[in-house]
Amino acid sequence: MTDAGELIAGRYRLSMRIGQGSMGVVWRARDERLDRVVAVKQLDYDAAIGPAAGEQASQRALREARLTARLRHPHAITVHDVVEAPGGPYLVMEYLPSRSLAEILLDRETLPAEEVARLGAPIASALAAAHAEGVVHRDVTPANVLLGESGVAKIADFGISRATGEGTVTGGGFIAGTPAYLAPEVAGGHEAGFPADVFSLGATLYRALEGAPPFGNDDNAITLLLRVAKEETVPPRHSGPLAEVLTRMLQRDPEARPSMAEVQELFEAVDGGRPLPPPRPRPRAGTRLLRVRRPRRRLVLAGVAGAVLLALGVLIGTVLVPGGTTTVAAPVSSAPPAPTSSSPAPTTPADLGCAARYEVTNSWPGGYQVQVTVRNDRAADLSGWSVRWQLPAGHRISGLWNGSFTVDGSTVTVENAAWNAKLRAEATTTFGLIALTQNGSDDARPALTCRTL
């Protein structure tokens, strides 16, 4: 058990506990090297998930934190450092004397519309910056919106929620955590993409305005999760431009929601008393087409996830919604990899219908980040795509966003997410991934094959 006064990693002196939750303990501490106050989150996991799952969650947390440490934004809590030490791992973050929106709502129940609008713009700007870096928050809730003593608003815990198993789809195929702020597609078993963050921010601000989340409250987490997955939101009692913005954000169809950058513009318009820009037209058929194309795989995955759920029981309120899940991670076999090319990926032949470009956007000892751009080369719209390549020797994928992936031997196959399945002629979309290496090299540039579905 870590105690006050302990020195972590020869640098961070713990002084007092300032928070505790299912993800562990948060300490106020002093960085003795730079002589500054920091917050240190000691990651811990519910004993019910077992030591193996806890270790896996710990490693995911470290990978996610290393990715999100690149984000620097005035309305996002900064991750300064990630350290592994006895009693850890530990995340070292910016210290902000603050109260969470959840704490404030316990006292006030609701906030005036003008306060909600002023709060929405800076949080949306931070999330938009994260999305531009390929980072999905996955757990936007009132507990993760912090209001500082000076009035500044900041979003906390970028990307950590998935790793710690709070409010997200886990690798085992079940959903853990409080479901009140989940997007319907996540409650239904899909991966959390950028549109899921838009919905969750909308649900968080709806709670501040209306006094309850958009699907209401229920002590039975399973019942509430089923409601999120299958039913419609409760229409807001308030009217006016703010209610319209929240309604746009809370659309059940992920493709019908605005992007986070558009959400920022909408809140700035409300706060400035300007007319709202009209919704931008978006394709709406991708999700329905995806469900028709892949029923058998969904049923198999749903059965596996259900078996895991029955074996482990309910963790903090868990459920698998019948109708499918998605592959978030897959084991990499020890089969030898096929030869790869170190040159940039060539353009996919035109008869395959799409092309994919592979770019390493960040690297560190033992790992790297990749962005893959998929382009529709056809004159007509496409309604689904997949990208395949060979993993270099000693490499493995530890996480992927904006799609689902499987690994068969050394062959990686990525398929579109529900919300980015449909591409107009010459349009593009992207997905990203984190890969770990045994040799510390990110030099390989595999040849990609993109096919339409």
Q: Where are the domains of the chain?
A: 7-94, 98-281, 329-452
Report d(CA 431, CA 435) in Å as an integer.
13
At position 62, the amino acid (one-letter code) is L
Report d(CA 445, CA 450) in Å as an integer.
15
Range list of H helices, 141-259: 160-164, 184-187, 194-210, 221-230, 241-249
Give the residue from 361, 364, 436 showing the smallest Cα distance to 398: 436
pTM of the model: 0.60
pLDDT tens track of the chain, all 453 residues?
578 889 999 999 999 998 775 567 889 999 999 999 999 988 766 555 556 666 666 666 666 677 667 788 899 998 888 888 887 788 899 999 999 999 999 999 999 999 999 999 999 999 999 888 888 888 899 999 999 988 899 998 875 544 443 344 444 444 544 689 999 998 888 888 899 999 999 999 999 999 999 998 887 777 888 889 888 888 888 888 999 999 999 999 999 999 999 999 999 999 999 999 888 765 444 433 333 344 443 433 344 344 333 233 333 333 333 333 332 333 333 333 333 333 344 444 444 789 999 988 777 767 787 889 999 988 888 999 999 999 988 888 877 777 888 999 999 999 998 778 888 888 888 888 878 887 656 667 889 999 998
Report d(CA 435, CA 405) in Å as an integer.
13
Q: Under 8 Å CB-to-CB from 405, ≥6 apart: which residues?
A: 327, 329, 330, 397, 412, 413, 414, 415, 433
**Is 98-281 a CATH 1.10.510.10 domain?**
yes
Q: Under 8 Å CB-to-CB from 323, ≥6 apart: which residues?
A: 188, 189, 298, 302
Q: Under 8 Å CB-to-CB from 41, ≥6 apart: which residues?
A: 23, 24, 25, 26, 27, 90, 91, 93, 160
**Residue 33, token pair as written in the block:** 């090297």
Report d(CA 244, CA 123) in Å as an integer.
18
- Could you tell me if 267 and 120 are in contact, meaning their C-beta atoms sit under 8 angstroms apart? yes
Give the residue from 405, 408, 402 showing the smallest Cα distance to 333: 408
Of all helices (H) and strands (E), which one includes residue 292? helix 286-293
Report d(CA 132, CA 121) in Å as an integer.
16
Please give the CATH topology (third level) of the domain spanning 7-94. Phosphorylase Kinase; domain 1 (3.30.200)
- Name 155's bridge partners: 76, 145
109 to 104, 152, 237, 306, 452: CA distances (angstroms): 8, 20, 15, 37, 49
pLDDT score recorded for residue 327: 29
pLDDT score recorded for residue 159: 52
**Residue 169, token pair as written in the block:** 């789809």
pLDDT score recorded for residue 200: 96
pLDDT score recorded for residue 321: 32
Report d(CA 433, CA 397) in Å as an integer.
7
Neighbours of 234 (CB within 10 A): 14
Please give the CATH topology (third level) of the domain spanning 329-452. Immunoglobulin-like (2.60.40)
Catalytic, 139? Answer yes
Of 3, 35, 44, 139, catalytic:
139
**SS3 category, 274:** coil
Question: What is the bridge-based pairing of β-strands 153-155 and 145-148?
Answer: antiparallel
pLDDT score recorded for residue 54: 62
Whether a cis peptide bond, with omega within 30° of 0, leads into 89 is: yes
- Name 43's bridge partners: 24
Residue 237: left if φ>0, alpha if ψ -120 to 50, beta else—which one?
Answer: alpha
Chain centre distance of CA 50: 24
Q: Under 8 Å CB-to-CB from 396, ≥6 apart: which residues?
A: 332, 407, 435, 436
- Could you tell me if 134 and 371 are in contact, meaning their C-beta atoms sit under 8 angstroms apart? yes
Question: What is the bridge-based pairing of β-strands 153-155 and 168-169?
Answer: unpaired
Sheet-wide strand order for 98-100: 98-100, 145-148, 153-155
Chain centre distance of CA 144: 13
